[in-house]
Structure 1
Amino acid sequence: MTEKDNNLVSTPDLCDAYPEQVRVLDSVFNDYGGVTSFFGQVVTIKCFEDNSVVKQLVSTPGEGRVIVMDGGGSLRRAILGDMLAAQAADNGWAGLVINGCIRDCLEIAETAVGVKALNTHPMKTEKRGLGDLDVPVTFAGQTIMPGDWLYADQNGVLVCDQALSFD
């Protein structure tokens, strides 16, 4: 993959260059993070109203990867808050794409990490130790596999089963 500043990711350009390889997620996400354009290899989490696995994962080295969380589309609890977003940024995660809600949106907007989610909700999740790491997740019209590559900017989110060149 050609190195390029994350702020210069262009999903329209990638769609033009790789129309047969990219899978575009439905336009259901809002931007919340301090970084609006990001990319990286995917680590998936399937969790419903419980962010125990998220909390464990953001404490590990991100190495420029992207966390994709399937929260079942729940609008009743926030899977991500300001402390976990800050921890993700501090540990080198490029971004998070969440099929669910976040909270502490003003603080997350000041955090150097990409965050896309469905909406906000003030209630935190319960910690029951539930959730699956590195499993296929399906939402926003696409199935996302662990190890896929995700590219996101203000135009949208797309995934591909291989790294794409920006040339």
Structure 2
Amino acid sequence: MHTIEHDIERPDRSIVEEFEEVPSTIVSDVTGNIGLTMDAGMRPVGDGVEMAGTAVTVNASPGDNLIIHKAITMAEPGDVLVIDCDGYTDVGHVGELMCGSCKANGLAGLVIDGGYRDSRELAEMDFPVYGRGVNPQGPLKQDPGSVNVTISVGGVSIDPGDILVGDDDGIAVIPGDGAERVLELAHEKMDAEDATREEVQSGKYLLEINGYDELLDDLTVVGPEDSIQ
């Protein structure tokens, strides 16, 4: 059984574009560091990656990419194609031609929790691609799948219209209905870090600036004399 939903609610494009200037680390910090940052296995194919866009979600059968081809035709400029292949890396579900089609049609990137191929070509394409692993073997085209349903990619639950922010560090996810508040917090965090950066460059320690020494005072610190003999 498969579901194909053509109409999804996207955040205002101007808000999404503002996230292009926000690092994934900042987004992760202001969203609480829990549940909205993809795991370390989701890596960019190349270096110097910057990505921000709205999710068009795909639930694809591991080893099959028929529904991915369909989803590419449904995505709009500024979207990120986010594909759940259940982490399957024994097949390259997408490659140079499919990602080239995404780029030519204005997509902001592609994220696949599964395998991809043509890694050299993808790294040179100047199009953000993230995946869990690379494999030269091609996929089947026979199993159904779904487009624009809730999926899980990189350990994060993603709905159509959520915002993905990616760079060399990884990917952070912003629920579409909370984008404005996250953006506000992100700007506040970036301003605060700019101020802290100046203090660090003057020689001050983060332990002192952030009051971490007070945390240490609340801990029981033991030395070698306290170890079990």
- State the TM-score, normalizing by the size of structure 1: 0.88
**What is the alpha-carbon root mean square deviation over aligned residues?**
2.3
Deviates more, 1:69-78 or 1:140-149: 140-149
Give the whole-Å Cα distance in 2 for the aligned partners of 1:50 and 1:4.
35
More strand by share: 1
Structure 2: runs of 5+ lacking an equivalent: 1-14, 188-229
Partner of 1:115: 129
- Alignment pair present for 1:132 and 2:138: no
Equivalent residue for 1:101, pick from 76, 100, 115: 115
Report the structure number with the largest CA radius of gyration: 2
Q: What one-letter code is carried by the residue in structure 1 that aligns with 2:80?
A: V
Give the whole-Å Cα distance in 2 for the aligned partners of 1:74 and 1:96.
16
Give the whole-Å Cα distance in 2 for the aligned partners of 1:40 and 1:85.
15
Q: 1:5 to 1:39 in 2, by over 3 A?
A: closer
- Alignment pair present for 1:40 and 2:60: no
Deviates more, 1:96-105 or 1:121-130: 121-130
Give the whole-Å Cα distance in 2 for the aligned partners of 1:91 and 1:9.
24
Identity among equivalent positions (%) equals 27
The structure whose RCO (Cα within 8 Å, separation 6+) is larger is 1
Give the whole-Å Cα distance in 2 for the aligned partners of 1:58 and 1:34.
24
Q: What one-letter code is carried by the residue in structure 2 that aligns with 1:113?
A: F
Q: 1:139 to 1:4 in 2, by over 3 A?
A: closer
More helix by share: 2
Q: What one-letter code is carried by the residue in structure 1 that aligns with 2:52?
A: F
Tell me by how many angstroms 1:58 deviates: 2.1
Partner of 1:91: 105
Residues 81-115 of structure 1 show CA distances to partners (whole Å, capped at 9, x for unaligned) of: 10001000000111111110110111111223210
- State the TM-score, normalizing by the size of structure 2: 0.65
Q: Alignment partner of 1:78: what SS? A: coil
- Alignment pair present for 1:26 and 2:50: no
Note if contact 1:41-1:150 (Cα within 8 Å) is conserved in structure 2: yes
Shift >4 Å, 4+ stretches:
none
